[in-house]
A and B are shown apart, each in its own frame.
Chain A
Amino acid sequence: MAAKPFVQIENVTKRFGRFTALDRINLDISEGEFLTIVGPSGSGKSTLIRLLVGIDDVTEGTISLNGTRIDTMPANKRPTCMVFQSLALFPHMTVGQNIEFPLKLRGVAPADRRTRAIELLALLRLPESYYGKRISQCSGGERQRVALARALAFDPQIIVFDEPLSALDYRLRKTLEKELKDLHARTGKTFVYITHSLEEAMVMSDRIAIMRSGRFEQIATAEEIYSRPISRFVASFMGEVNLFPVTGRADGTPDWPAGAIGARPGALAVAPGWTGVLMVRPELVRFLDAGQAADFTLSGTLTAEYALGSRIQYSVDTAAGLVTVERPFETRLTAPVGTPVTLGWDRAAVHLIAEAADGTA
């Protein structure tokens, strides 16, 4: 990668009155990357992209694009473009006029504008007949594509997405997620996408940045975030994981404050005084038959069973709390709810998250 990042966000702080929405944010984005910022409501992700496209001004810090500062430029001069959550299509214009709007502003001749708009319609898999349609005649998914086509017509250096799929139904969202990823590959543009759904982020992104209270918690690839979350927050943000508090005894063996877990001697070495959680994903927990062994074992009672389509999930009540186990639907247990079971998992399935004694990362 080049020495100078494509987009460089340095020490950016944004305050609204006395509320600090972003607190000394640093982020580099490389050219052609699909970066997704994930965070709960109020984590500052929307604020960050509004600063990026120029809707709001930074309080402190700088944003540069290709080495040029853009945070001081007005929104209409920045080579960035945003796809709004509401899509912000212009209802008084046709589909074609919407797409041509940025070209019209640049003084492109009507015939050339039309050619480009029709190219973009084709790129977004919309029939040419949509050119003259009113926005109100388009469905949710079609509007989504029109908004994308309009953003592409602007030909920005970065396209920013503000949860544009959140209002759509599940199936359409899944289709458009894949289309968006595909579009990213075909156009080679830099995409910055925000969402509160880590699942959505996983499908599309090269890198994921997890935000919490105006700061980045972790910035990494989907694979890394999935298997090696840096904090309990990141771990729990990505759905159901099993977290067991662990501390290190003076002799280097683990202690389990929430309830004992059987650990094979030597399976887990914990420094004396170390505090944190042990994470294990539900799909990596097994039901042990009599005589089977694992690095970690825990016994309990099967309390519930949830069919998730291709997978099935179990809740097991143990001395260390409720444990979630997930496995392919074909391997559904024959044992009924209420049966005593023994759970087990191996050292390779375990990820340790260090925490300060008060529970924060």
Chain B
Amino acid sequence: MERLERRLGLLSALPIGILLLLSFVMPLLLVAGFAVMPQKVFELAHLPDFSSFAVIWEQGYYKSLLRSLGLAFLTTVILFLVSWPLAYGMAKVFGRFTLVITILVVLILFVSENIRLFGWSLSLMKGGLLEGYLRAWFGFSFETPLYDWPVIVFGMCYVYFPFMLFPLAQGISLVPDDARLAASDLGASPARILFEIEMPLAAPGIMVGCLLTFVLSAGAVAEAKLLGGRSVIVLTDDVESAFTFGQNWPLGSALSLTLIVIVALLALVPISRIDLDAIMGRKR
């Protein structure tokens, strides 16, 4: 019986397994393969060569890597702070109204990210929707916030908001009401309850939300391009140029691989510590 269940399990996992192998593992291996190819050679038969990684350091590409990670970190922190109250409300306070918020947030996802970002770009540009109308109606003008890093962070917060909100709400819903009441009864102030009861018990949701937003923001392309207008060079820009204008595939691959490894390391630590079953509601 148990063997049958195991066989069925393996069989059920087979389709997605093959898909992941082809669409996830293969490209990764390809990237890894290209990353250790000597530069400007493009031949498959060669010994591993790490000169591309040296270039990352020598030509200052690590700066855009740090910039990407920094912006992603900032986005994650801001999103966490902004989403927590709403997520809390959705999990504990709003009741049926939660569904309305969920639908509204999900609805946004139906419009392509690029179109939404273009919308912001058109709204915020000099002579655009906002500034243009303000100038025409009130004679009030302001410099466009576009083409600088804060607007990139804003764009990423805007785009990745649902990826923080829903895991957080799920995490907070894992906090038993009684635990909160008991803590208060035992003398805990609301701040102590937040830090010592609610946040630790919602930790799986917090981790999933933060990881999703961090990983997505670190690899984001469109925000920097459409809102930042290439005035801020993030790592993904470098990767793209290396593969296109630069025709330096080894460099592009090495940059990608570096980002992948750093993000994977950052992600593995929390993932190994959280209980995904708890998030999915199979326990407690």
Contacts and interface: CB of A to CB of B under 8 A. Distances in A.
B192 interface: yes
Interface in B208-224: none
Given A91-B201, A92-B201, A102 B182 contact: no
Contact of B176 (A53, A55, A88, A150): A88
A18 interface: no
Given A88-B176, A90-B197, A81 B188 contact: no
B184 interface: yes
B187 A76 contact: yes
B183 A81 contact: no
Secondary structure dominating the interface of B: helix
Given A76-B189, A88-B176, A101 B183 contact: yes
B177 to A, nearest CB: 9
A29 interface: no
Given A55-B181, A88-B181, A102 B187 contact: yes
B201 A84 contact: no
Contacts of A78: 185
Interface string A67-108: 000000011111011101011111110000000011001100
Contacts of B200: 92
A76 B201 contact: no
B58 interface: no
Contacts of B184: 55, 74-76
A92 B284 CA distance: 12
B187 A105 contact: yes
Interface residues of B, number: 19
Interface residues of A, number: 25
A105 B186 contact: yes
B143 interface: no
Given A55-B181, A90-B179, A81 B201 contact: no
A154 interface: yes
A281 to B, nearest CB: 39
Interface in B228-284: 284
A53 B185 contact: yes
Interface string A127-169: 0000000000000000000000010001000000000000000
B183 to A, nearest CB: 7
B178 interface: yes
Contacts of B178: 84, 86-88
8 tightest A-B CB contacts, nearest first: A88-B182, A88-B178, A102-B186, A92-B200, A75-B184, A86-B178, A76-B184, A105-B187
20 contacts: A54-B185, A55-B181, A75-B184, A76-B189, A77-B187, A81-B186, A82-B182, A86-B178, A88-B178, A88-B182, A90-B179, A91-B179, A92-B201, A101-B183, A101-B188, A101-B196, A102-B187, A105-B187, A105-B188, A105-B192
Interface of A: 53-55, 74-78, 80-82, 84, 86-92, 101-102, 105-106, 150, 154
Given A84-B178, A90-B201, 5 more contacts: A74-B184, A86-B178, A91-B201, A105-B192, A154-B187
